[in-house]
């Protein structure tokens, strides 16, 4: 079946980086984009950006420009999201979702908890 | 940046009641508006895409309407399993979500 499986929970110190993976299966990876969405504890959803699995084009949320990089590995049908210079307010569940910047997100990963704490 | 504002923030509803959630965009987004349901400790689930298009497997009591700046998600005859947070999402310009509406069952 179509699914996205994400990597496990991470605990990082302020200033560090984190890289979350999202492995796709059950569909042609390069036919869709992957978007990333995060959710701080008890808060709503925040769109982070999108990457085309076809050509690697990206679009990032303005507030994360310069700190976030999204990549894909088409040989393993895996998308990655790296966030640098972590702060306490980056503590959140990070989701990947199938969809591009002009579409709805029809398949979601299970989420990856990233905790930033000294 | 397009801002989405949902109302209400919270709604307490009895089973079989009709629920209406609205989402207003700060500028016209055509029909590029989607709705999601998120239950506690679960990933969001797509309910409606492009304002009014139904999604396979989603109960028919969920429907969407609107275009431009004003959109509505309607849940006809609410069931206990519909207790969740509901979010609108625009894909007209980059991405963005409304702040969410929590629906509680009385």
Burial bucket for residue A30 (CB in 10 Å: 0-12, 13-18, 19+): middle
Tell me the pLDDT tens digit for each residue of A45-90: 999 999 999 999 999 999 999 999 999 999 999 999 999 999 999 9
Residue B94 — very low, low, confident or very high, per pLDDT cuts 50/70/90? confident
Residue A100 — very low, low, confident or very high, per pLDDT cuts 50/70/90? confident
pLDDT at residue B76 in the model: 95
A110 part of contact set with chain B, CB < 8 Å: yes
pLDDT of B95 above 90? no
User: Which among B1, B43, B49 is the nearest to A110, CB-wise?
Assistant: B43
Q: Chain B residue closest to A99 (CA)? A: B91
- In chain B, what residues touch A105 (CB-CB under 8 Å)? 34, 36, 44, 46, 89
Nearest to B88 by CA among B56, B58, B44: B44
Tell me the pLDDT tens digit for each residue of B9-60: 999 999 999 999 999 999 999 999 999 999 999 999 999 999 999 999 999 9
Cβ–Cβ below 8 Å for B95 and A47: yes
Cβ–Cβ below 8 Å for A47 and B43: no
């Amino acid at each position: 079946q179509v699914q996205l499986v994400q990597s496990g929970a991470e605990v990082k110190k302020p200033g560090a980086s984190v890289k979350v993976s999202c492995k796709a299966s059950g569909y042609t990876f390069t036919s869709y984009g992957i978007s990333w969405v995060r959710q701080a504890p008890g808060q709503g959803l925040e769109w982070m950006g999108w990457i085309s699995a076809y050509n690697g084009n990206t679009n990032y949320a303005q507030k994360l420009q310069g700190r976030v990089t999204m990549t894909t590995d088409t040989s393993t049908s895996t998308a990655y999201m790296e966030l640098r210079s972590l702060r306490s307010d980056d503590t959140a569940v990070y989701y990947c979702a199938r969809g591009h910047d002009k579409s709805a997100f029809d398949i979601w990963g299970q989420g990856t908890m990233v905790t930033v704490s000294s | 940046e397009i801002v989405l504002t949902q109302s209400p923030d919270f709604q307490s509803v009895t089973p079989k009641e009709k629920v209406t959630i609205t989402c207003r965009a700060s500028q016209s987004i055509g029909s590029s508006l989607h709705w999601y349901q998120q239950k506690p400790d679960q990933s969001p689930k797509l309910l409606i895409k492009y304002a009014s298009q139904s999604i396979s497997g989603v109960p028919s009591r969920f429907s969407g309407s609107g275009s431009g700046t004003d959109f509505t998600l309607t849940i006809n005859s609410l069931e206990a399993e519909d207790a969740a947070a509901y979010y609108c999402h625009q894909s007209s310009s980059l991405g963005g979500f409304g702040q969410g509406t929590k629906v509680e069952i009385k």
